[in-house]
Amino acid sequence: MTSPRVPLVLLDLDGTLTDSAPGITASIADTYRALGLAVPSPTTLRSFVGPPITSSFPAHGVPPDRVTEAVRAYREVFVTRMITGNSVYEGIPQMLRELRSAGLRLAVATSKPELYARPICDAFGLSALVDGVFGAPLDEATSTKAQVIEAALAANRDAGPVLMVGDREHDVLGARAHGIDTIGVTWGYAAAGELESAGAAELVDSPAELTRTILRRLAATA
């Protein structure tokens, strides 16, 4: 008899599990100053949290021929803030424990380079609460969220059904490329209406509600 497949939940990192905006936005602002460019507004700075910076820099005033320079400058200051300018949202550890206790497999799937994502998850005790951490290569320009999700799925071929959890449109679109529904969390960094427009299956307002929603949706597919 074939064993039942274990459900898999893919979890974004920035804006979903951790409030990383303070460290990221301060580092982005420092990058613009280092390049002699006007620092974007606070709202624009927050929009950098989530998507690859290699796409965000040219979208917000960095000339294409200076993007590599901007990425280098950003990383020089970000490594000093990726822990100190970061924190885990209240209720997240309990959510992860409850989902694992329910027999689900959990994996972080982030557009952040895996080189940074792993030590961040280690520092905040998240690595011990999930079954894997998947991120972009250091050259983020060569990766999309869909490719990060593809790597997570390849490492969990025996799992299913699968859900994505994220706070930005690229989470929704990356998951959709693999036929996966996304639960959008409202405590992250999406602009008003962003998740709905991208096609998130549902929105939740707290980690406790997220736990209930994941369990309900996966039970419906059993």
| Positions marked active-site | 12
Q: Do 16 and 165 contact (CB within 8 A), yes or no?
A: yes
Q: Which backbone phi and psi does 161 adopt, to 5 degrees?
A: -70, 170
N residues, the chain? 222
Q: Which backbone phi and psi does 134 adopt, to 5 degrees?
A: -125, 130
Q: How far apart are CA 35 and CA 107, in angstroms?
A: 36
Token pair listed for 218: 């996966």
Taking alpha carbons only, the member of 142, 198, 134 closest to residue 168 is 198
Residue 42's contacts (CB-CB under 8 Å, 6 or more residues apart) are 25
H/E stretch holding 210 = helix 207-221
Q: How far apart are CA 167 and CA 49, in angstroms?
A: 10
Q: Side chain identity at 196, as an amino acid letter? A: E
Q: How far apart are the first and last CA of the chain?
A: 17
Looking up tokens 């822990």 gives 83
Residue 32's contacts (CB-CB under 8 Å, 6 or more residues apart) are 38, 39, 40, 61, 62
